[in-house]
């Protein structure tokens, strides 16, 4: 997964890594957002977790950029996707 500071916009290689550190626990978030609402929620979640759980390394990427090997490596995995229905 690539690392950038912000998870905003609809570019295909979005990712965010809150902080570097070998002793940090890892939380991976895979985002699939069609209208941007799910992406917004994930961004707010990351901002909150950075404040509430400073011992965690947070990495997020779009589903399109995520490879199977990214899902296999340690930590906690969160899948965030749209419902695909009308709002």
- What structural domains does the chain harbor? 15-81 (3.40.50)
Q: What is the pLDDT of residues 14-56, one digit of tens each?
A: 334 444 445 679 999 999 998 899 999 999 999 999 999 999 9
Six token digits for residue 37: 């609402």
β partners of residue 18: none
- Alpha carbon of residue 58 to chain centroid: 7
Confidence band, pLDDT 50/70/90 cuts, at residue 70: confident
Q: Tell me which residue of 73, 72, 18 sits closest to 46, measured CA to CA.
A: 18
Q: Please, are residues 56 and 9 in contact by the beta-carbon 8 Å criterion? A: no
pTM reported for the whole predicted model: 0.69
């Amino acid at each position: 997964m690539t690392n950038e500071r912000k998870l905003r916009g609809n570019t295909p290689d979005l990712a965010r890594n809150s902080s570097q550190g070998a002793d940090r626990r890892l939380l991976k978030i895979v985002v699939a957002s069609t209208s941007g609402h799910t992406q917004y929620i994930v961004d707010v979640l990351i901002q909150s977790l950075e404040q509430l759980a400073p011992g965690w390394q947070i990495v997020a990427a779009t589903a399109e950029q995520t490879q199977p090997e990214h899902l296999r490596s340690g930590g906690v995995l969160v899948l965030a996707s749209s419902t695909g229905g009308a709002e």
